[in-house]
Structure 1
């Protein structure tokens, strides 16, 4: 299936996966998602923020290469997230080359949708870091990387308060009167 390729990015609980599922269900978009959770489970890691720098780099490199190989239209988390998590893990070795590859992937996307932090949706699920300060740091780090990488020209900021009407339409399958 053709069409634009979208990258969804932002902190945990901000609505990325919900949005990706809506695109998949409503429009039949193919979604590349949950790759980090699968990697963590496969490698026996419960809390990604406790990994060694070496394992963090291995994980993010594996995730980035899987993105390059994917033919999906929607990426529920993409290279902006991989760079963010390496930065927050304090990884420095090999990061310059990794970031260059991450920007290369981001430029294959037609649209980047940035989801700001939303505390009311952040629930503990056994894998998420639920500390609000940490998630706000994730949000700021991702946005700063998008800016530094000159990707803001293709970035839309998801406005949660404006999406309520659209969500009602998606759920009901009917357009509402405006």
Structure 2
């Protein structure tokens, strides 16, 4: 899959957002902070109303499938644990802003890369089973008024970004 990106250029959005190795960092500290994803309170409440005995431990499921040896036609059953479709998580991404002399323009441009990256994740999948229908995600972002919006509907102004 290649090497980890680490050009270290001061105008590289990847290095600026995710940081570089400490040895010869010219871009400063990492700007993006990803908080843990936890089950959303709305999802928990919906599930408790729908299924009286529901608890957060019921969130994962085991999926069973077979791999077939193409030469011998021998089936090899396997199972893995996954989160079923429809489960909602809440998490937070913070983008630290540093004074760089651009009056915030450079930081605004950097945050546009974050939104674009989230859109790319929506078009692909998380994890290694995307071709089998696992790992599909959709992001909804809470704007400064507290409304949830899809990525296509959100603007940096909605978020209160510079």
Shared fold (TM-score greater than 0.5)?
no
TM-score between the two structures when normalised by the length of structure 2: 0.27
Higher strand share: 2
Q: TM-score, normalised by structure 1?
A: 0.25
| Structure showing greater Rg | 2
* Structure with more helix by fraction: 1
